[in-house]
Amino acid sequence: MPPKKSKSKQKTTLSKSKLKSRPQSLQFSDLPEHIRLKVWKYACSVPRVVELFEFHDTTVNGRYLDDMEENEFWDMLARADSPEEALVEDEGNEQSSGPGDDGDNNEMRKTRKEKLNPELVTITMSKTRPPAILAACRESRIQGLAIYKAVDDGIRTKTTKYAHLDRPIYVNPEVDVIFRGHTACDKGDAFRIRCKEPLGVRYNEQIAHTEPVAFTRTLAVDLVALTKTWKRITEQEISSLFYEMSVLEKREDEAKRILGTCKPGVEEVATLMIVREIAKCAERGLRNLAIVVGNDDDASEFNLAPLEQDCTKMSPRERGAMNEAESLRVNLAKHWERLCEEDGSIFKNIPLPNIQVVTVERVALKSFAVFPKLPVEIQQMIWQFALHTPRVISLAQDRETYEPYLSSNSRIPAMLSVCHASRELILKSTTFQELPTREWEAGYEFYNPLVDIVRLEQDPEGEPKDFAKYNIRSVGIPFGPHTYAWAFKGKDAKAFHGLEEIVVLLGQPRIGCHISAEPVSEDLPLNPELRNDGRADLKMYLSKLRHELKKASQSWKAYQRRRERQGKSSPDWIMPTVRVAIMKEEWQTKSPYLYQQETMRE
């Protein structure tokens, strides 16, 4: 008889057989292809709110206006208009015109103006992260690019100066919402984006070309888009709209209501411009328009929710927004009727966009519920630790007065709005000071001289000592291919009493973000803007700056010794240290928007 197996061996064989019989965990890649495609398609159907804003720069013959000397461009334009330049340019040419041939001279002046080649550089930006599906895997990216479209194709300008900002902004035209915030509506355009040459307007040759912001079915704009339109309208647009509104005088009943007198006012012209821009957006596919109230600080973490319909619970500003929306509905409907009366009008088949007022709901952060139960001493220690979180804050110079003013659009310290205890602590803290703002800008900015880095944006005609009246411990010097034309020299550091370090900052700050400075090595700075030639320039500048600081320190010590021999005192000045850092944007790693579109659809 064969020997019997022990019970332990029997249990082992049984357990192995059970493990073999268990189904293995199913991986996503093991799913059938048609199921995976359905999952990717469903992921693309989740609505997102995508913030969109832009800024503009101008080039002439490939050179940026900011890099030119004062009035250099206008001198070039004046030379192009000069008839003497025509004779000098074509001297020796058999077909050159004589002194009395004004027609040919005018043609030459026009040709020389075209050779100036002024071009508007449009850079579109967004603080919203791209869809995660585009970075999951190759299959998801292929499916995502089939649904998501880049809103700035044909608008964004390819340029080397702003190559670090050249990032496409993807949206799902069917479900996503483009949001035009307070900055875009106040300083730019709410319903359109300028994307052609604006300098032609100055010498009356051509008007800037614009593109309607109709990349999605739903567009959300800040209330400023309706209340401050007169700040964005140009003289050419006013003249054109005056003429268009005068045509309406043929319909006396409508003309009396709109015109009132012989000519309309700026508000009526601005209203007509708004409804025309909305009509162009509707022609491209816009179906819903949301008027956003309550996001004055351009926060990026919020939800959009319909406004409470009970007037008794509304604030005065919300009631004003409802009145503005109702007035817009009436004017848009009347403009729609005029468009539909035209022969062959396509607006007969286009529905009137739905207009609704929405408010902002801040995204609730993950709270620490037991914090109030901690001893008061521990709470104070936590607040004290939070006081010393470093930031990068920018100071610029006014071009007329050369007075410094706050140029960064960063958020104020969060401790000012957490609770009464944190606010009281930061207001009583002697470490925090206020930075200046321009007279027409409301508010102020706190900064902590002990930990914050003040980035100096000096005007080319200004001097670094203009910033020295503030207690700046750490000075940030912008450095890059287009920012190190003015260099902070060692002798300039003597004007800053209490200066401890000079930080050479790489990269570009971004509006509305908390910016921190991450130290990097001087031998190999991790900055895509600095290639081999840029790294050599950085090392050369650092070596020169340290040499100048050492020389300034020696001369200061000699000055102090002379003062001591004369029995006089002098303030101490210690040579600051020099280091390199790269600016890093701090924000959430996932999109905070949860927009409920059911309330916006019919």
Please, which pLDDT band fits residue 569 given cuts at 50, 70 and 90? confident
Do 355 and 375 share a structural domain? no
Minimal CA–CA distance to 248: which of 352, 330, 337?
337
Residue 205, pLDDT score: 40
Look up the pTM and report it: 0.53
Highest mean pLDDT among 161-170, 309-318, 575-584: 575-584
Identify whether 309 is part of a domain. Answer: yes
Do 435 and 318 share a structural domain? no
Task: Select the more confidently predicted residue: 331 or 21.
Answer: 331
Long-range contacts, 382-386 (Cβ 8 Å, 24+) = 383/415, 383/421, 383/422, 383/425, 383/426, 384/425, 386/415, 386/422
Identify whether 549 is part of a domain. Answer: yes
Do 343 and 195 share a structural domain? yes
Identify whether 140 is part of a domain. Answer: no
In this structure, the chain runs to a length of 602
Do 303 and 216 share a structural domain? yes
The number of beta carbons lying within 10 Å of the beta carbon of residue 175 is 17
Do 377 and 495 share a structural domain? yes
Minimal CA–CA distance to 600: which of 218, 320, 47?
218
Tell me what percent of the residues of the chain surpass a pLDDT of 90. Answer: 4
Residue 47 has pLDDT above 70, yes or no: yes
Do 403 and 327 share a structural domain? no
Do 444 and 389 share a structural domain? yes
Task: Select the more confidently predicted residue: 345 or 161.
Answer: 345
Q: Which residue has the tokens 């008061």?
A: 376
Tell me the helix, strand and coil percentages in the chain, rounded to 5: 40, 20, 40
Q: What are the pLDDT digits (tens) for 500-510?
A: 898 888 877 66
Q: What are the pLDDT digits (tens) for 153-186?
A: 666 656 555 655 667 889 999 989 899 887 777 6
Identify whether 26 is part of a domain. Answer: no
Highest mean pLDDT among 102-116, 202-216, 261-275: 261-275
Which helix (H) or strand (E) segment is 182 a member of?
A: helix 182-187
Do 462 and 346 share a structural domain? no
| Domain limit, last residue, from 345, 363, 381 | 363
Do 445 and 331 share a structural domain? no
Structure tokens at 258: 């709109």
Do 375 and 359 share a structural domain? no
| Tally of domains within the chain | 2
Identify whether 311 is part of a domain. Answer: yes
Three-state SS for 507-525 is CCCCCCCEEEEEECCCCCC
How far apart CA 478 and CA 436 sit, in angstroms, is: 20
Identify whether 598 is part of a domain. Answer: no
Q: What are the pLDDT digits (tens) for 177-198?
A: 899 887 777 665 788 887 654 4
Residue 148, pLDDT score: 92
Q: What are the pLDDT digits (tens) for 527-561?
A: 544 544 567 778 888 888 888 888 888 888 888 88
Q: What are the pLDDT digits (tens) for 52-69?
A: 887 766 665 555 555 555
How far apart CA 185 and CA 187 sit, in angstroms, is: 6
Do 354 and 401 share a structural domain? no
Residue 59, pLDDT score: 62
How far apart CA 518 and CA 392 sit, in angstroms, is: 11
Residues 452/511, Cβ–Cβ less than 8 Å: no
Do 399 and 274 share a structural domain? no
Please, which pLDDT band fits residue 514 given cuts at 50, 70 and 90? low
In this structure, of 40-44, 205-209, 399-403, the range with the lowest mean pLDDT score is 205-209
Residue 65, pLDDT score: 54
Please, which pLDDT band fits residue 584 given cuts at 50, 70 and 90? confident
Rounded to an integer, the average pLDDT of 387-413 is 64
Residue 214, pLDDT score: 83
Residue 147, pLDDT score: 92
Residue 600, pLDDT score: 38
Rounded to an integer, the average pLDDT of 377-385 is 85
| Domain limit, last residue, from 328, 363, 398 | 363
| Domain limit, last residue, from 363, 385, 403 | 363
Please, which pLDDT band fits residue 4 given cuts at 50, 70 and 90? low
Please, which pLDDT band fits residue 260 given cuts at 50, 70 and 90? very low
Q: 446 is in which domain, residue-wise?
A: 371-586
Nearest-10 crossing angle of helices 316-341, 266-283: 70
Residue 230, pLDDT score: 56
